[in-house]
Amino acid sequence: MRKKRVIRKKVGASKKKIIGKKTESIIPQAKLLRLFQIIAVLKSGHWTIKQLADRFDTSDRTIYRYINLLEEVDFLLEKDFENRFFIITTEDDPTQAQFSIEETKLIKKLIQAGAQDNPLKSSLLKKLSLNSEMDSMPRLFLKARLGHFVDKLAESILNKNQIVLKNYHSANSNEIRDRLVEPIHFGDNYQSIIALDTQDKICKQFKLDRIGEIIEMGSKVQFENLHQKNQTDIFGFTGDSNTWITLHLSLRAYLLLREEYPLSIPYIERTENGYTFHGPVSNLEGIGRFVLGLMDEIQIKGPDLFKTFIENKFQRQSLNQKN
């Protein structure tokens, strides 16, 4: 009898634990739906943590977990001077033309209620399902894909193997092609790989998010004597100098800087009339290319050395265009 009572007591305690866990956790489907709803709300306005918690009938702690998740998957999440969170969007952001999940639900209900016999009903409902915030889902899985690349690259570096970067999209040449490379080391924060391009025998930085796939060749590196292990700067260039550049950025320039060069994020501050970048570079070429491509969106604050560099570059470009 004593043994029976002990077993009954353990079973009871176990049930209580399981019930407790169910009430505290969120099932994956509901959590994903809630995440998309929060994305929609943060794109439409500025919200404090408490306002979000009230809006979704949950705790401040849960909202902070969602905020942290959005930051981890690289949403452009900002906080204004009143500690209100929002997701940055621009007028030409394609997501602005998408229906929110709540809008989609409402329109679906109206169509189902008022278009019972209309032949267009099924096609409209299908298009609504496609043209909604569910299109944001791929970003949530981007990090898992990049993590897979990191594992493959780390193994190739360790074994000193050549690899092919399949369908690599180069921003400089604006072309997509395969690159046979010899990986050397990772860039800062594992956002890129420094590798020798076997075609021109030059060490370059390749961004992981521009790689289509990584193909392991099984062949050993052939040009190890050309491998350079210099650390690259924010803009992917190596050099001996350490010059601090200060730029005033428009919203568009800020968004492009964050997207193209995520290592710049710690050096950006929000101001009342835009954004300020103040960060170190090893070579003026990299940041120079960025500035020259956005001359109407960026104001150079210093130093004079960089102002002169840009002026000379701009004059040479103008002469080349005339010729």
What is the rounded average pLDDT of the residues 9-33? 44
Torsional sign, CA 88, 93, 96, 99 = negative
Report, in angstroms and rounded to the nearest whole number, the Rg of the chain calculated over CA atoms.
26
pLDDT digit string, tens, across residues 196-246: 999 989 888 888 888 999 999 889 999 999 887 666 788 877 776 788 999
pLDDT score, position 300: 94
- Res 30: pLDDT: 64
Specify if 52 maps to a domain.
Answer: no
User: Is 64 contained in some domain?
Assistant: no
Residue 297 and residue 253 share a domain? yes
The total domain count for the chain is: 3
Q: Which helix (H) or strand (E) holds 213?
A: strand 213-220
Q: Name the pTM for this structure.
A: 0.44
**131-189 tens-digit pLDDT:** 444 444 444 455 667 778 888 898 898 899 999 999 998 876 678 899 999 999 887 65
In CATH, what number is assigned to the domain containing residue 153? Answer: 2.30.30
From 226, 253, 277, the end of a domain falls on 226
Residue 78 lies in a domain: no
| CA dihedral of 114, 118, 123, 129, whole degrees rounded to 10 | 10
On whether residue 282 sits in a domain, the answer given is yes
With contact defined as beta carbons under 8 Å apart, do 299 and 247 qualify?
A: yes
Q: Range of 255's domain?
A: 243-322
Return the top range by mean pLDDT from 2-6, 178-182, 272-276: 178-182
**What is the CB-side half-sphere exposure of residue 34 using CA atoms within 13 A?**
18
User: In this structure, is residue 197 part of a structural domain?
Assistant: yes
pLDDT for residue 89 is more than 80 = no
209 lies in some domain: yes
